[in-house]
Amino acid sequence: MNLSRYRSILPGLALTLTVASTLWPQAGQKPAEAATETQPGGGQQTNNRHTSKVEAGDVERSFFITGELQAARSIQISVPRIRSSFASAITYLAPEGNFVRQGERLLEFDPSALLSSKSEAERRLDEAKITIEKTREDLAAQETDLLNAVAQAQAGLKVAELYARTPKELLAANTYQKYKLDRERAQLTLDKAQEQLANFRQSHAAQMALAEVDRAQADIELKKIESDLALLSIAAPQEGIVIYGDNWANNRKIQVGDNLFPGQPAVSLPDLSSLQVIGFVYDTELARLSRGARCNFSLDGVPGTHFTGTVTELTSVAARKGFASQHKVFRAIIQPDKLDPAVMKPGMTTRVEIRSRLASQVTAVAREYLGLDANGRYYVLKADNEKSVKLPVEVGAFGDRMVEIVSGVSRADSLLPVQKVWED
């Protein structure tokens, strides 16, 4: 190894280290500590002149809740109650989020079962109509037969009366009696034929009505099926944005092909002019919230948006946040000061900030002027003739920016920021 080479380098390296040591603080010394000089009595000489006066102020703290945009007024479309079916399969859904106008195609269900029932009902109706025509023709034929019987009886009676008017002296006694009996028998035959015709005419309407009953029942059944078929195709009752309902069985939104039960919500058309924020508040935050509280909120789906509003309603009973959730929350309704339909859409999640005033017009300092020592005691640095005096203090309410000072300093005292900010 060439030691002479390294001996020539060492003097230059030593000179460089000497210059660097004069320009930089000693190792392990922080820049903030280099700006201070310990003074007798625990004070420090400081070149930092950014002091703050202790004044009366409000201590406020913000807390955040999650929410969702919902319409206060909305038309809900439910699965129709079909008499011949316990469930209905969806065959068409207008795309969720699309804007539809009144009368546009919105929702349709599978009509195959009803179409089969309709064909059967039409067949029964045709059979009932044929039965009516056959009954009418049969009754007409019966009436013709009865009229013929009456006519024959009338003719027989005339003949019998002609023979019965023959003088008794011209006939034998038994022949005369026979003619008398024939006339009475012909009269009885005519009376019977006329009675049968009268009875037939009285029952004619009843027999036709009986045949009409079957036709009416088949017609009613067909109209019911046609009415149910009309329910399976639903048009938008008003303009609005399409929002799908929940499929409880699968824990998701409904979709084409789902079998839904009668009365189950399928689609809703919210009124965009009635949008409001539905917030979910846990019990630990409920005490900070009250009706009339002002708040700010933003839309998670549209970064950079900021809106203001007022808490208008607050429930007093907790409920589950969702169908599949076990978490209990309180429900708060927040009315926005201004609606922006261009960015506000039903179902969008929101982040709501509510400022809670913990104390009003109390002695308070900014949090950067409050320190916490190794023993867990709070202190401030009071500026005193170019020195900083460490004073222990008793604190009260902690806010996001200000902290209440119960004792230890007086108003109008000048404080210096501490080197470590206490973190909540």
For residue 165, being part of any structural domain is answered with: yes
Q: What is the DSSP string of 220-262?
A: HHHHHHHHHHHHTEEE-SS-EE-EE-EETTTTEE--TT-EE-T
Residues 80 and 149 placed together within one structural domain of the fold: no
pLDDT tens-digit map of 245-265: 888 878 889 999 888 888 888
Residues 102 and 239 placed together within one structural domain of the fold: yes
**3-class SS of residue 294:** strand
Which of 208, 45, 222 has its CA nearest to residue 139? 208
pLDDT tens-digit map of 106-138: 999 998 888 888 899 999 999 999 999 999 999
The domain boundary, picked from 358, 386, 403, lies at 358
Residues 105 and 238 placed together within one structural domain of the fold: yes
The whole-angstrom separation of Cα 351 and Cα 298 is 5
Asked whether residue 319 carries a pLDDT value surpassing 50, the answer given is: yes
Residues 320 and 212 placed together within one structural domain of the fold: no
Q: By percentage, how much of the chain surpasses pLDDT 70?
A: 85
**Could you tell me the maximum CA-CA distance found in the chain, to the nearest angstrom?**
194
Domain CATH for 87: 2.40.50.100
For residue 32, being part of any structural domain is answered with: no
Show the domain range for 216.
Answer: 113-231
Residues 159 and 94 placed together within one structural domain of the fold: no
Note the pLDDT of residue 251.
Answer: 83
**3-class SS of residue 393:** coil
Q: pLDDT grade, residue 315 (50/70/90)?
A: confident
Residue of higher predicted confidence among 188 and 45: 188
Residues 118 and 225 placed together within one structural domain of the fold: yes
DSSP letter, residue 422: P
The domain boundary, picked from 358, 388, 408, lies at 358
Cβ count near 41 (within 10 Å): 7
The domain boundary, picked from 358, 385, 415, lies at 358
Note the pLDDT of residue 11.
Answer: 42
Q: By percentage, how much of the chain surpasses pLDDT 90?
A: 29
Q: Are 62 and 355 in contact (CB under 8 A)?
A: yes
Alpha helices, DSSP H, located in 42-172: 112-164
Which of 106, 155, 412 has its CA nearest to residue 268? 106
Helix (H) or strand (E) holding 383: strand 378-384
For residue 34, being part of any structural domain is answered with: no
For residue 214, being part of any structural domain is answered with: yes
The whole-angstrom separation of Cα 62 and Cα 355 is 4
Note the pLDDT of residue 325.
Answer: 64
- Residue 108 one-letter amino acid: E
First to last CA, the chain: 61
Q: Are strands 394-398 and 402-407 parallel, antiparallel or unpaired?
A: antiparallel
pLDDT tens-digit map of 224-235: 888 888 888 999
The whole-angstrom separation of Cα 354 and Cα 310 is 10
The whole-angstrom separation of Cα 297 and Cα 299 is 7
Q: pLDDT grade, residue 84 (50/70/90)?
A: low
For residue 400, being part of any structural domain is answered with: no
Q: pLDDT grade, residue 148 (50/70/90)?
A: very high
Residue of higher predicted confidence among 222 and 37: 222
For residue 410, being part of any structural domain is answered with: no
pTM greater than the 0.75 cutoff: no
Note the pLDDT of residue 189.
Answer: 93
CA-to-CA separations, 371 to 59, 222, 381, in angstroms, rounded: 17, 85, 8
Q: pLDDT grade, residue 151 (50/70/90)?
A: very high
The whole-angstrom separation of Cα 231 and Cα 335 is 36
CA-to-CA separations, 57 to 286, 398, 404, in angstroms, rounded: 25, 13, 9
DSSP letter, residue 34: H
For residue 373, being part of any structural domain is answered with: no
Residues 117 and 224 placed together within one structural domain of the fold: yes
Asked whether residue 149 carries a pLDDT value surpassing 90, the answer given is: yes
Residues 126 and 164 placed together within one structural domain of the fold: yes
Residues 299 and 325 placed together within one structural domain of the fold: yes
Note the pLDDT of residue 399.
Answer: 87
Note the pLDDT of residue 82.
Answer: 81
Domain CATH for 279: 2.40.30.170
Tokens 């924020």 label which residue?
Answer: 277
Residues 199 and 210 placed together within one structural domain of the fold: yes
Residues 80 and 159 placed together within one structural domain of the fold: no
Which span out of 21-25, 187-191, 290-294, 370-374 was modeled with the highest average pLDDT?
A: 187-191
Residues 264 and 128 placed together within one structural domain of the fold: no
Note the pLDDT of residue 309.
Answer: 94
Q: Are 308 and 283 in contact (CB under 8 A)?
A: no
The whole-angstrom separation of Cα 173 and Cα 165 is 14
- Residue 260 one-letter amino acid: L
Cβ count near 340 (within 10 Å): 12
Q: Encode burial over 174-193: b for 16+ CB neighbours within 10 A, e otherwise.
A: eebeebeebbeebeebbeeb
Q: pLDDT grade, residue 354 (50/70/90)?
A: confident
pLDDT tens-digit map of 8-67: 444 444 433 333 333 333 333 333 333 333 333 334 444 445 778 888 888 888 888 889
Q: pLDDT grade, residue 155 (50/70/90)?
A: very high
Note the pLDDT of residue 92.
Answer: 93
Note the pLDDT of residue 29.
Answer: 34
Residue of higher predicted confidence among 36 and 179: 179
The answer to which of 6-20, 78-92, 146-160, 307-321 has the lowest mean pLDDT is 6-20
Rounded to 10 deg, the angle between the 112-164 and 173-231 helix axes is 170
Average pLDDT, the chain: 81
The whole-angstrom separation of Cα 115 and Cα 215 is 20
The whole-angstrom separation of Cα 328 and Cα 317 is 9
**Structure tokens belonging to residue 58:** 């409000």
Q: State how many domains the chain has.
A: 3
For residue 185, being part of any structural domain is answered with: yes
